Amino acid sequence: MAGLLGRAQADSFLLSRDGEMVCEWHAPGVDRSDPHLVFSISKSITALVAGILEDRGILNVSTPVGDLVPETKGSAYADASVRDLLDMRISLDFDESYLSEQDYARYRRAMLWNPATGDGSEEKGLLALLGSLGKADGPHGGDHAYLSPNSDMLGIVLERATGTRFTDLCSDLLWQPLGASADALITVDNRGAPRTAGGISLCPHDLLALGQMLLDGGKAGGNQIISRRWIDDMRTNGDPGAWARGTQAEFLKTGRYRSNWYQLGGGSNAFLAAGIHGQFLYCDPDTNTVITCTASQHEPQNDALDQDMLALFANLAKPT
Q: Which residues are identified as catalytic? A: 40
At residue 167, φ and ψ (nearest 5 deg) are -60, -40
pTM strictly above 0.85: yes
Whole-number pLDDT of residue 200: 98
| Model pLDDT, residue 122 | 66
2-316 carries CATH number 3.40.50.980 = no
247-285 confidence digits (pLDDT tens):
999 999 999 999 999 999 999 999 999 999 999 999 999
pLDDT of residue 115: 85
Residues of the chain with pLDDT under 50: none
Q: What are the boundaries of each domain within the chain? A: 2-316
> Which tens digits make up the pLDDT trace of 139-183?
999 999 999 999 999 999 999 999 999 999 999 999 999 999 999
In this predicted structure, what is the pLDDT of residue 121?
Answer: 62
DSSP secondary structure, the chain, as one string: -HHHHHHTTEEEEEEEETTEEEEEEE-TT--TT--EE-TTHHHHHHHHHHHHHHHTTS--TTSBHHHH-GGGTTSTTTT-BHHHHHTT---------TT-SSHHHHHHHHTTSS---SSSGGGGHHHHHHTT----SS-TTSS----THHHHHHHHHHHHHHTS-HHHHHIIIIIHHHT-SS--EE-B-TT--B-TTT-EEE-HHHHHHHHHHHHTTTEETTEE-S-HHHHHHHHH-S-HHHHHTSTTTTTSTT-EEETTEEEEETTEEEEEEEETTTEEEEEETTTTEEEEEEE--SSS--HHHHHHHHHHHHHHTS--
